[in-house]
Structure 1
């Protein structure tokens, strides 16, 4: 239910800019409270703000603060929430690139590596990392820059073109979009077992 633009606006409102900065649990709670309070206005019957904040915070800590230091990097928070927000896949890629690109709007191997490292933590926490090539993101970084003639930096178009090839370490993101899209799909067919017709969701 969370719109990608609303996520970004919440980051701006809370002045969450510096990617290497560490946020305390209270900072994260403050940001999440803004996000869920705005969501509650549109979906009153579905959103319980304290519960949603608590659940999301717990998930973020499980993914990005396994040692429970009480700190999460700004970039990790942004990548997690943007990855799971509602929006077009290409728009999402654009936002993610912008988060790691420098002021010249170009991205080098180190910056791409940081993005992929944070992104792969989501399936890793679910015990699915092996299905996406393991936690070593170096082959994916190499493939991106090899596709672009090993230039020292890539631009947003080159990044999006590469993402459309669905590299193994981030293929979970388009898969997640397809799963979400299939949840509401109606198939004009009858189930052989329960006789439900139409079948809604995965067939």
Structure 2
């Protein structure tokens, strides 16, 4: 069962899983965190935990009911896949056209996965760099545009420069 969410400012409608609606509502208590980077990290961590992306799930013999065992508890894989897709669509397809760019999908999943931040950054850079390991301004801009969608969806984009990534791209290439 999904719940309809009407965005009055954009005059659009989207459907969210009830647990995702609860997650978004629960983030209000994080507004007490003073520094935006910490607040955004805590919001993303809450998403990560809800979607079970923060734990290493061990296969306990995939059963027909598609449940996996995680620390002695059964995990409903279709439920978490559905919620993860819900989150990805909320971040990268708010108009719910049913389309995601491959870079959007990769960026969203990498941001949720339980891995070292340096490894995540290397992997994402590799996604936009050429065979020579170099990245041009256009590709870096694409990556940063994908990344800024996450704090935007969490209500924190203003703290990271809003929707404009060009100053960051220009800054990176001035340093080289």
The answer to whether structure 1 residue 74 and structure 2 residue 102 are counterparts is yes
Aligned-partner SS, 1:40: strand
Tell me the distance in 1 between the aligned counterparts of 2:74 and 2:120. 25
The answer to whether structure 1 residue 59 and structure 2 residue 111 are counterparts is no
Aligned-partner SS, 2:94: coil
Name the TM-score, length of structure 1 as normaliser: 0.52
Pairing partner for 2:124 from 96, 99, 118: 96
CA distance 1:74–1:145, shift in 2 (3 Å): same
The answer to whether structure 1 residue 123 and structure 2 residue 151 are counterparts is yes
Q: For 1:129-168, what aligned pairs fall within 5 Å after superposition?
A: 129-148=157-176
CA distance 1:51–1:44, shift in 2 (3 Å): farther
- Once the 2 structures are TM-superposed, how far is the Cα of residue 40 of structure 1 from its aligned partner? 3.1
Aligned residues: 115
Name the TM-score, length of structure 2 as normaliser: 0.60
**RMSD value over aligned CA atoms?**
2.2
CA distance 1:46–1:116, shift in 2 (3 Å): farther
Once the two structures are superposed, residues 138-177 of structure 1 have per-residue CA deviations (whole angstroms, 9 ceiling, x without a partner) of 00001111111xxxxxxxxxxxxxxxxxxxxxxxxxxxxx
- Deviating runs (4+, > 4 A) in structure 1? 41-44
Tell me the distance in 1 between the aligned counterparts of 2:149 and 2:96. 15
Tell me the distance in 2 between the aligned counterparts of 1:108 and 1:85. 26
Aligned-partner SS, 1:107: coil
The answer to whether structure 1 residue 85 and structure 2 residue 80 are counterparts is no
Tell me the distance in 2 between the aligned counterparts of 1:90 and 1:69. 33
Tell me the distance in 1 between the aligned counterparts of 2:82 and 2:118. 30
The answer to whether structure 1 residue 50 and structure 2 residue 78 are counterparts is yes
Pairing partner for 2:137 from 106, 109, 125: 109
Q: For 1:4-19, what aligned pairs fall within 5 Å after superposition?
A: none
Q: List alignment gaps of at least 5 residues for structure 1.
A: 7-36, 149-203
Tell me the distance in 1 between the aligned counterparts of 2:53 and 2:87. 16
Which structure: larger Rg? 1
